[in-house]
Amino acid sequence: MGCGVTKSDQFHKHSGKAIRAAVLIQRWYRQYVARTEMRRRYTWHIFQSIEYSGEQAQIKLYNFLGYLMDNFTPSSNERNLISHIFRENDICRDAEWERYFCYKKIEVPEIYSGPHLTFPLTVEQAVGLVEAFRNKKQLHSRYALQLLLETWKLLRMLPNINRISTCHSKEITICGDLHGQLEDLLLIFYKNGMPSLEKPYVFNGDFVDRGKDSIEILLILFAFLLVYPSDVYLNRGNHEDHIVNLRYGFTKEVLTKYKMHGKRILKLLQKIFSWLPLATVIDQKVLVLHGGISDSTDLNLLARLDRHNYISALRPPKKRNQSSASTSMDSDLDEDVWGANRIFQRRASLTFPKPLGARDCFHNRSLQDFSDRIKVNVETELEIRRRRRSAFNAVMKEPETETPTLSFDSVYSDNAKEEWKQILDLLWSDPMAQEGCVPNEVRGGGCYWGPDITEDFLNKHNLQLIIRSHECKQDGYEFCHNRKVLTLFSASNYYDVGSNRGAYVKLGPDLVPYVVQYQASSMIRELTVRQSVGRTERSALKVLREQLFAHKSDLICAFKKFDSENTGVVSLNDWASAVESVMHLDLPWRMLRCQLVTRKTSEGMIDYYDWFNELAIIGPNSDNIDQSLLETLYRHRSTLETIFRIVDTDNSGFITMEDFRQTWKLLSVYLKMEITDEAISDLAVTIDSNQDGSIDIDEFMEAFRLTDKKSRLERGRSMFMGTATDLTKLEGDPNI
Amino acid sequence: MAESNNQSAETKLSDVHKRIKAAFETFDNAANNTVDVREIGTIIYSLGCFPSQADLHDFIAEVEEDHSGYIHLDRFLPAMTKVLLEHKFPPIPKDLLLQAFEVLDKDNKGYLEPEELTKYMTQEGEPFTQEEMEEMLTGLADHERNVIYYKDVINQLAIDPDM
């Protein structure tokens, strides 16, 4: 605060007036800036809530499929439909794998204009690869497979925890999540130089999914890994996981780019992901890992376990016959474990579904059910919920609604469970401001850990800093826990153009992190804060409107509860309460109200039917499709697509009519919804426009995209399609 | 809930409380009902109020917990409720704002040069920091002519009331 001091006689004449005028303008402008900041905050919340609830939904889906696996007869059609995604460690000898991944017979046509690779790879070739990708070339599947095979061989020799040093005055560069955003990797290389003997790099996971160039990023990172194995270090992220990839776009990207050999590439990548190291320690003082830690994280245990048993972090390894660790390429000589252990399981099929009591149980089972370290009883649960960060779960959450869990089976040994928890925590956890350690229910895996946990952990292992990624930050990085934890995120404009900067960190022998920020696309730098907030906000609101529209029936139900006299209007307060009760996104609905509802009655009430007309999003030509079915399809389109891709075992992009029906049955059980066979048949007939008995997945999904198809949010960004309420019951909706 | 006349005062109060809490919670990162004192201005502004810096300092002095750097909801809520119910820091009417700009536009040009505005904003009243000034210029100046057409700006940045 201060009094203006006039600096020139010019002001003297009008000084009193001018000062008052200046004060007024300053007040006005500051208010405006503050409101912009507020908008930026809740825009962020919107994106983050939806992103995390999408992750949660994926885990729920996987969980659900696992449950089905546990309860189907081995030979049932439904089981065959989905069993292959669980068949993670196929029985195969080395020779068989060699044959399966063989690239030698793949011919490279004359017209191919991309790079030709010869092995062993040279640095010129690696650099050439970067250039080729910059010029939008694609690497031929023959070379891709070969590169991946070499990578696999190398990774298998690496320990779980890389240990590196900044000796020779080398500065180590550390990068966070890239998520398929090639532009950002190119920008980092441009600003910082490519990896070399003088320029070591650590890449901290989440190289794939969401962005459109995930495979290119992988190929570049692997190429440099092969050329400079002592100077390039890769940590596994939670997205280096084929289950997560099914939903978040990487699987689709590979199958689209590599139509003939995509499936093999994906299979090889499954193995590669499982062989990625889990963490990196620099100078024995700085720990770099993707997600974080929990109060039970034990580096010694992590160093000892067989990391490649965890093909997906979402599923514990199957119990193996006690063979000693062999030296073959794939040491798990499992039989199909399912067969043997299922003798004791109940049998059911979709046609005669078991009463669903059991499934409610699996939803409520938490990770901690089998971990002896953390016992979560009811009181603690309530306490935990009260202390949840405001961006996430609402304070008064119904217990049965949102406890995403990872199901387990009693065949797993305690050892396996312990190891599994260690890995899960490493890849999925987030830091929190409060002390303690609680399950990360928002994402569905890992923990939230507090500053006291960090302190204890660092002391125990004689470390001084944890560098992790996993969370998008507006400035590309953020310190927390008394600057003992650094979050690093390298995908700029992640939520939308202008949403955030990316960052990387340089660490010299003094181990003081030096952060460098950037933002892809020069257009962004010229936008003011106000303008970029405005853009991002518009995107966020658009996504939110979609979500709201997709929950129309539930919302109307909720509104009716506040409108007993059926007047068709509710107060602003009631509107906000109703919306939160359905959406579970813990957003400041009251503040968002004026952006989401533009029409109000004269008494300041909201006409909700009118509001839905306002929100109405143009859908496909749907005269002959049941409206409520349409709404279901729209709302669950991401889950539906994921299930389709699981069902499409040969990755052709087509599924048969019969499989389509089965998929629907699956979805209806998952959603606890009644969908009559008739309704499904009608739908199938409509979709199979050329009546040839098969359905094009992409075409089907296209039909349900919004009219604005070019929106950045739609291209490969399925994260926004997941919702927290995939399992919402459709309570007494009259339309069904 | 039926809205009858004798309940309307209560409803209004409860409404106000909800608004305040919603704004507060957006900045309550640790979910422990406290916010950093540096965010209070933003919260108050976002509730539609237009305090001056002096007003803000007075308000903060009232509600801050012994210079801890934090403000607790328990103290913020009653103080803020009073502010809202009494319309203590009312919005600036457009025409008043226009007059203010016209005072600064001594030559009646219809626009302000960036240097003119900068001089006033950084030297008079409750001065802007250099950062604030740069942001203001980038935000308000016409891109081609590099001057501030204040009439347009006032209309563009019109705040729509929250309720």
Q: Give tens-digit pLDDT for A449-500.
A: 999 999 999 999 999 999 999 999 989 999 999 999 999 999 998 887 778 8
Chain B residues lying within 8 Å of A530, measured CB to CB: 139
pLDDT at A396: 27
* A237: pLDDT strictly greater than 90: yes
Q: Give tens-digit pLDDT for A206-225.
A: 999 999 999 999 999 999 99
pLDDT at A708: 33
Contact: B159, A387; criterion CB under 8 Å = no
* A17: pLDDT strictly greater than 90: no
Considering chain B, what percentage of its residues have pLDDT values greater than 70? Answer: 90
Determine the Cα–Cα distance for residues A305 and A73; give it in Å rounded to an integer. 33
Chain A residues lying within 8 Å of B26, measured CB to CB: 38, 41-42, 45, 390, 588, 591
Inter-axis angle of helices A552-562 and A529-550, to 10 degrees? 80
The mean of the pLDDT values for chain B is 82
- For residue A18, give the nearest of B28, B51, B120 by CB distance: B120
Contact: A528, B138; criterion CB under 8 Å = yes
Q: How far is CA B4 from CA A327, A559, A576, B8, in A?
A: 80, 20, 21, 6
Determine the Cα–Cα distance for residues A569 and A575; give it in Å rounded to an integer. 9
Q: Give tens-digit pLDDT for A644-692.
A: 777 776 667 777 777 777 777 777 777 766 667 777 777 667 666 667 7
Chain A residues lying within 8 Å of B18, measured CB to CB: 573, 576, 590
**Placement of tokens 């109020």 in the chain:** B49
Contact: A18, B162; criterion CB under 8 Å = no
Taking CB atoms within 8 Å and a gap of at least 24, the contacts of A130-133 are A130/A186, A130/A189, A130/A194, A130/A220, A133/A182, A133/A213, A133/A216, A133/A219, A133/A220
Q: Give tens-digit pLDDT for A278-311.
A: 999 999 999 999 999 999 999 999 999 999 888 8
In Å, how far is A36's CA from the nearest CA of chain B? 9
In Å, how far is B42's CA from the nearest CA of chain A? 5
Is this structure's pTM higher than 0.80? no
Q: Would you say the ipTM is above 0.90?
A: no
Task: Place A139 in a pLDDT band, splitting at 50, 70 and 90.
Answer: very high
Length of chain A: 736
* A56: pLDDT strictly greater than 70: yes
* Averaged pLDDT, A161-185: 91
Determine the Cα–Cα distance for residues B155 and B151; give it in Å rounded to an integer. 7
Chain A residues lying within 8 Å of B28, measured CB to CB: 390
Q: Which of B124, B151, B154 to mutate: most A Cβ within 10 Å? A: B124
In Å, how far is B78's CA from the nearest CA of chain A? 20
Q: Which of B14, B126, B146 to mutate: most A Cβ within 10 Å? A: B126
With b meaning 16 or more CB within 10 Å and e meaning fewer, what string describes A708-722?
eeeeebeebbbbbbb
Peptide bond into A120 cis (omega under 30): yes
- Catalytic residue numbers of A, as ranges: 239
* Averaged pLDDT, A115-132: 94
How many CB pairs below 8 Å do chains A and B form together?
154
* A512: pLDDT strictly greater than 70: yes
* A407: pLDDT strictly greater than 70: no
Cα dihedral A507, A513, A519, A524, rounded to 10, equals -150
Chain A residues lying within 8 Å of B104, measured CB to CB: 18, 21-22, 25
Closest by CA to A485, choosing from A502, A513, A466, is: A466
pLDDT at B25: 82
Task: Place A529 in a pLDDT band, splitting at 50, 70 and 90.
Answer: low
pLDDT at A545: 83
Q: Which of A13, A14, A31, A606 to mutate: most B Cβ within 10 Å? A: A31
- Beta strands, E only, A36-119: none
* A264: pLDDT strictly greater than 60: yes
Q: Give tens-digit pLDDT for A333-372.
A: 222 222 223 322 223 333 323 332 232 333 333 222 222 2
Contact: A528, B135; criterion CB under 8 Å = yes
Q: Give tens-digit pLDDT for B7-53.
A: 577 777 888 888 888 888 877 776 678 888 888 888 898 888 888 88
- Neighbouring residues of A708: CB distance < 8 A, sequence distance ≥ 6: A714
In Å, how far is B11's CA from the nearest CA of chain A? 10
In Å, how far is A605's CA from the nearest CA of chain B? 11
pLDDT at A83: 66
Chain B residues lying within 8 Å of A31, measured CB to CB: 45, 49-50, 91, 159
**Placement of tokens 């009232």 in the chain:** B62
* Averaged pLDDT, A392-419: 48
Q: Give tens-digit pLDDT for A436-463.
A: 999 887 777 889 999 999 999 999 999 9
- For residue A23, give the nearest of B32, B45, B52 by CB distance: B52
pLDDT at A372: 24
pLDDT at A177: 96
* A533: pLDDT strictly greater than 60: yes
CA A450 to chain CA mean position, Å: 23
